[in-house]
A and B are shown apart, each in its own frame.
Chain A
Amino acid sequence: MTTGAPTRIREPKAVAWFLARRAVRLQGWRRTDALVRALVCGAGLMLVGLVMHRVELALMGLPLVVGLLLTKTPSGTPSVTSARGPDTVDAGLDAVVGVTVKPGEGAVLSALRMPLSTTPGVGPVHLLPAADGEVRTRLAWNAWGQGIYLRPDYLFASHDGLHVFGPVVGVAARHTVLPPIEPLVPGPLPPRAAGLVGAHRSTRAGDGMELRDIRPFQPGDRLRRIDWRVTLRTSAAVGGALVPQALHVRERHAEADADLILALDTRLDVAREVAEWNAHPVGTDVRQGGSLDLGVRAAASIAAAYLRNGDRVGLIDLGHPRGGVPAGAGHRQLQRIRHQLVHTARRVEGSGDPVLNHAQVPPGATVVVLSPFLDDQLVDVTVRLTRRGRVVLAVDLMPAELAADRTTPWGAAVVSIVRAEHAMRLRAMAGHGVVVVPWGHDGAGGQVAAILRRTRGRRR
């Protein structure tokens, strides 16, 4: 039995030299097929032409050789750097994005991947002159969501592409484009029972400004609330004596805040083309103009309008029970809801049971359910919530027109059945007291606000 150090396999020197040369060729500046072509074809044609006494061969190879003689081998290490941009931007805005290019010595052309305002994503590769400086482009954030907006992949080349440096994958810059907010006029909401502070007139008596009633004085009433004009008139009617029975006080309405809960159906994302309902959209998380896109835009707009009014707004993700946002107020709450909308919209997982139970909704809150209503389970939970005394508004996100799948003869029949079932669900909800309103591409914010105003009157 022998012991000792493990044996090390030594590569032959020729193999090591070959591997080292190959490794060197894969980094830094390196020759291209164009240079080999110019050298072999140019010099080869000239050589053959001289040997064979064929001048035309030499003349055809001459430009390639002259081009090589005029080309200087580039050197240095080119680089492309980009400044860090904001992590969050608002949809609809635009910005200038730039990268700083240092091409090194001898580089003539740069192939740089830069985004265009007309196309989403990191954009195509642009062939530009390799100049030391900044390259910038103007971008418009039209589509909301998370994504990479800049990844400056680059490649530098010398004259005629004889040498190249790269391609090098650039550092990706990510950001979140928050959903846009359409201007809505918020209406008054049914005030919630708890708490007596806010912008909405409560049905209960309190310390607000609006007159509710004038009634006889009772023990516990504050003296500053006594209406002396009514009191003196009453005492005059009973003989002029200011007896305790003649005292009257002015009673005012309390001012209470209101809770609005937005329940967004993130299980489905359907658009006009029925054939694409099961396909994942390419290059993005959400179909532009689809039901989820409309729902997110609607939720953001409604939330912004009512939060601006001083109300408390919360979000429920029907597909993911832990993905909601508890009701809250203020600008920070709006940002929280918009971020959560972007986050939840990335997880469209197809049909599943919607989660919308009584415990998720604060007492007295108004619930707005945003969904294309393509399954009966959501109708069940919506109706159940209504029967428990909640004010529920259903916003229908189903596309107004559906295009049948042309690859199957059953396409038109499928559309008819889907339409009929959808209409039946809406009728069932309306029959149980749920107000249903469609949210089209032109928006229906005013309609929603008006309906919420009516529901307040109904609840009183």
Chain B
Amino acid sequence: MRPDALELGRGVPAALLRVVILLAGAAIVVVPLQEGITIGTLFLLLPAVLASAYAPASPAPAAVIVVVAVLLALAGEDPLRAEVLVMIPLVHLFHVACGLAGVLPASGRVHLRALRSTALRFLLVQAVTAAVVVLVALLPTGRTHPVVEVLGLAGLAGVVLVVVWRQRVK
């Protein structure tokens, strides 16, 4: 036996990941309701959240992300209002929790040290996002020059190409 071997403990039930999905989903549902969006939230968002908790490795979490983004965009004009700032980490948490729950049966066990790198990475991504939010808040509002818009679209296209290139399976 190697001395650096990993001793297997009991861990916590994998259903805890589904609980995290439900909690994040509940918060995602509550925010649009606070803004007065009732029909879209209850008839589109809530079923998608429940479906995501039941089947995390399905298109349901994507539907949650898209629907909540559209609902929030339609609800108000201020892009940096509190509801949006709260929703950014919530949607990310929902996405990560669904990704982890998708690789593990609901009857499995989760060992918390396995989530350490995921938690650090979550914080890193949120720090980068917060920096971009601060940058957006500092930029002047008003009409954007067409050249800047074209450059933005070209940059986004470049990012997408880089992502696709990096994520190709070797």
Q: Which residues of A contact B (CB under 8 A)?
A: 24, 28-41, 43-47, 50-57, 59-73, 75, 96, 98, 108-111, 114, 116, 118, 124-129, 131, 133-137, 155, 157, 159-164
Residues in chain A near residue B34, CB distance under 8 A: none
| Chain B minimum-CB-distance residue to A130 | B114
Residues in chain B near residue A109, CB distance under 8 A: 100, 103, 114, 118
Query: What total of chain B residues lie within 8 Å of the partner, measured CB to CB?
Result: 74
15 contacts between A and B (CB under 8 A): A28-B169, A30-B169, A54-B73, A55-B80, A56-B69, A56-B80, A56-B84, A57-B70, A60-B91, A67-B95, A69-B159, A71-B166, A73-B168, A127-B100, A155-B103
Pick the contact of A70 from B5, B108, B121 — CB < 8 Å?
B121
The 8 closest A-B pairs by CB, nearest first: A34-B99, A161-B99, A55-B79, A125-B108, A134-B5, A137-B8, A63-B92, A160-B99
B145 within 8 A of A: no
Q: Are A32 and B169 in contact (CB under 8 A)?
A: no
CB within 8 Å for A61 and B69 given contacts A30-B169, A72-B166 = yes
**How far, in angstroms, from A118 to B10 measured CA to CA in the complex?**
9
List which B82-125 residues lie within 8 A (CB) of chain A.
Answer: 84, 87-89, 91-92, 95-96, 98-100, 102-105, 107-111, 113-118, 121, 124-125
B132 within 8 A of A: yes
B116 CB to closest chain A CB (Å) equals: 7
Residues in chain B near residue A31, CB distance under 8 A: 167, 169
Residues in chain B near residue A66, CB distance under 8 A: 125, 128-129
Q: Are B156 and A43 in contact (CB under 8 A)?
A: yes
Q: Are A125 and B87 in contact (CB under 8 A)?
A: no
Residues in chain A near residue B153, CB distance under 8 A: 47, 50-51
Residues in chain B near residue A71, CB distance under 8 A: 166-167
CB within 8 Å for A43 and B160 given contacts A56-B73, A109-B100 = yes
CB within 8 Å for A62 and B7 given contacts A68-B163, A72-B166 = no
Pick the contact of B14 from A127, A161, A164 — CB < 8 Å?
A127
**How far, in angstroms, from A447 to B89 measured CA to CA in the complex?**
70
Residues in chain A near residue B14, CB distance under 8 A: 124-125, 127
B7 CB to closest chain A CB (Å) equals: 6
CB within 8 Å for A29 and B6 given contacts A56-B73, A63-B125, A68-B163 = no
**How far, in angstroms, from A37 to B62 measured CA to CA in the complex?**
6
**Interface residue SS majority, chain B:** helix
**How far, in angstroms, from A35 to B152 measured CA to CA in the complex?**
23
**How far, in angstroms, from A118 to B88 measured CA to CA in the complex?**
41
Residues in chain A near residue B144, CB distance under 8 A: 53
A361 CB to closest chain B CB (Å) equals: 50
**How far, in angstroms, from A161 to B103 measured CA to CA in the complex?**
7
CB within 8 Å for A46 and B5 given contacts A155-B103, A159-B118 = no
Residues in chain A near residue B2, CB distance under 8 A: 133-134
Q: Are B126 and A63 in contact (CB under 8 A)?
A: yes
B11 within 8 A of A: yes
Q: Are A98 and B1 in contact (CB under 8 A)?
A: yes
**How far, in angstroms, from A68 to B156 measured CA to CA in the complex?**
13
**How far, in angstroms, from A29 to B103 measured CA to CA in the complex?**
13
**How far, in angstroms, from A50 to B92 measured CA to CA in the complex?**
20
**How far, in angstroms, from A382 to B6 measured CA to CA in the complex?**
56
A368 CB to closest chain B CB (Å) equals: 43
Q: Are A67 and B125 in contact (CB under 8 A)?
A: yes
